[in-house]
Amino acid sequence: MTPKNPTQICISIDTEFSIAGHFNEPDVYMPLADPVVYGSVNGKEESLGFMLETFDHYNTKATFFVECANYFYFGDEPMQTVINRLKAAGQDIQLHIHPVWLTFNDNPELGDFPQNDDCIGRSKQELTRAFSACIDVFQRWVGRKPLAIRTGSLRADENVYHVMRDLGIPMSSNVAMGIFQPNEALLSHDSGRHLIHDVMELPVFTYQDSNIAGRTHKKSLQITSCSWPEMKHLLWKARKSGVENIVILTHPFEYIKKRDFRYSKLTKNRVNQTRLQNLCQFIQQHSEDFLSVDFSSQYPYWIASELNQQAVQIPTIYAIGRRLHNRLNDVVWSY
């Protein structure tokens, strides 16, 4: 069942700022930008800078889903600078939308938005206003229209796809069944490519694991929550099971540790950094079996056909090892 061509691995990075307590105590806390994306520790960028260096070293392609609604608080900067960095590095850029930032809009022509970060449950009219505004910002920053959108917190309903279709956005990556399970069966996919109201959805790769009691649950493939032994085993098993396409989820802030939600003290997250380095090195070393890809370069091929893939399950031992490793990394600051 092993595919003739290399299994495609798309590392997708949700690149976003943080409200950082502003809505709860607006007189005390302001939203944060640079620490969340750059993660500077002793003068070195341990987040975005680390990722771009790693991708360059291992010749890895990736897609950065850049959040654009933050414009309505911050203006063009500082995200414009982030995008310029990504363009200079030759990395793919697509659109990420956290609609809560639209609360800060003061343009009466655009209208008011509720203090809500969910794309689910909104009318088509409201979603159209929100998505159109973010697409306009993206075009100004990037210089082209996005080919793909990812909704905040990977939460979407069918209205999202209706609006994307009407706005001419051909691809999406809004589903991660291990993070959020949509109510609609049309959106319930663990991996592959699926045409939803004329938009090609590429879900974050989701697999099954089990605990000591034998209970299974769904787990989406993320750098911050999957140990390297687990990830390596999963990739080889997926390859041998005939899986052709794998989307992995990560964020720049996963490569640092912070003392509090205000990013007041930071250190690098050695565990997550090593996982990303191991993944990129693995793809490079096994180029006959795996290939790093991005949304832009694969666009004409991905929209041409849907893809159903076999479900993948990993042994319990990997789930146990991952939980222990992640817990140790969370508890020990200098681990």
Side chain identity at 267, as an amino acid letter? T
**How sure is the predictor about 307, in pLDDT bands with cuts at 50, 70 and 90?**
very high
pLDDT at 139: 98
Each residue of 212-257: pLDDT tens digit?
Answer: 666 778 999 999 999 999 999 999 999 999 999 999 999 999 999 9
Prediction pTM value: 0.97
Residue 185, pLDDT > 70, answer yes
Instruction: Over range 254-280, report the average pLDDT.
Output: 97
> Which pLDDT value is given to residue 335?
85
Residue labelled with tokens 């009407």: 166
Supply the pLDDT for residue 209: 87
Coil, strand or helix at 64: strand
Hey, which residues does 44 pair with through a beta bridge?
41
- In this prediction, residue 127 carries a pLDDT of 98
Show the domains of the chain with their CATH numbers: 7-331 (3.20.20.370)
Q: Do 5 and 289 contact (CB within 8 A), yes or no? A: no
The type of residue at 131 is F
Residues forming a β-bridge with 245: 8
Residue pLDDT, tens place only, 51-71 = 999 999 999 999 999 999 999
Is the model's pLDDT at 211 over the cut of 80?
no
Q: Are 31 and 17 in contact (CB under 8 A)?
A: yes
Q: What is the average pLDDT score of the chain? A: 96
The single residue listed with the structure tokens 């069918």 is: 158
Determine the Cα–Cα distance for residues 222 and 231; give it in Å rounded to an integer: 9
For the chain, give the longest Cα–Cα distance. Answer: 59
For residues 183, 187, 192, 198, the Cα torsion angle rounded to the nearest 10 degrees is 180
Cα separation, 2 vs 210, in Å, equals: 25
Phi and psi at residue 76, in whole multiples of 5°? -65, -35
What pLDDT, in 10s, does the model give residues 112-128? Answer: 999 999 999 999 999 99
Contacts of 234 (CB under 8 A, 6+ apart): 207, 221, 226, 312, 314, 318
In this prediction, residue 257 carries a pLDDT of 97
CB 61 within 8 A of CB 92: yes
Least confident segment among 29-33, 76-80, 297-301, 319-323: 319-323
Does 87 score more than 70 pLDDT?
yes
Q: How open is the CA angle 296-152-103, to the nearest 5 degrees?
A: 120
